[in-house]
Amino acid sequence: MSSVRPGDHKAYMQLALEHARKSPPKPTNYRVGAVLVDLATNEILATGYTLELPGNTHAEQCCFMKLAEKHGVSEENLKQVLPPELALYTTVEPCSKRLSGNLPCVERVLRLAGSIRTVYVGIMEPETFVAENTGRLSLENAGISVVHVEGLEKDILEVATAGHVRG
């Protein structure tokens, strides 16, 4: 069980923000945090943050990679071992394109459609690196709700863009 009350979306987003703060500031990426929650038990299944694991990794990617390793399956087969009602909290909207060539986070979430029912986001992705992020639309088209958790936007943006050159 989590110490966060079930349905306390702002508290889960604050937890995701705490993880985002662990990410090293760089001018070429956002510092993002993610938390995956089993809605039936209110258990936090995994957390992640940008660059937590080797290979230019994003927060959601780290979350799923760690969970796959814990269950001894590939990330592609993760859905087979997950509970049926999950929520993903991420400080910044999942990316729909990766300039590094890695699989976009939206594609990773879509592989878990049916298990992940809702993605809660702190802010929509600014257009700094990828103009016109289509992540939200792709998720909603797959039946995954995207819900903006209000109230932490200023803090999330400040953490996300730490290390960026201000013009």
Q: Catalytic amino acids?
A: 60
Please give the span between the terminal C-alpha atoms of the chain, in angstroms, as a whole number: 44
Contacts of 66 (CB under 8 A, 6+ apart): 46, 47, 48, 53
Query: How many of the other CB atoms lie within 10 Å of CB of 5?
Result: 9
For helices 9-20 and 153-160, what crossing angle results, to 10°?
Answer: 20
Give CA 156 to chain center in angstroms.
13
The CB density around residue 74, as the number of other CB atoms within 10 Å, is: 11
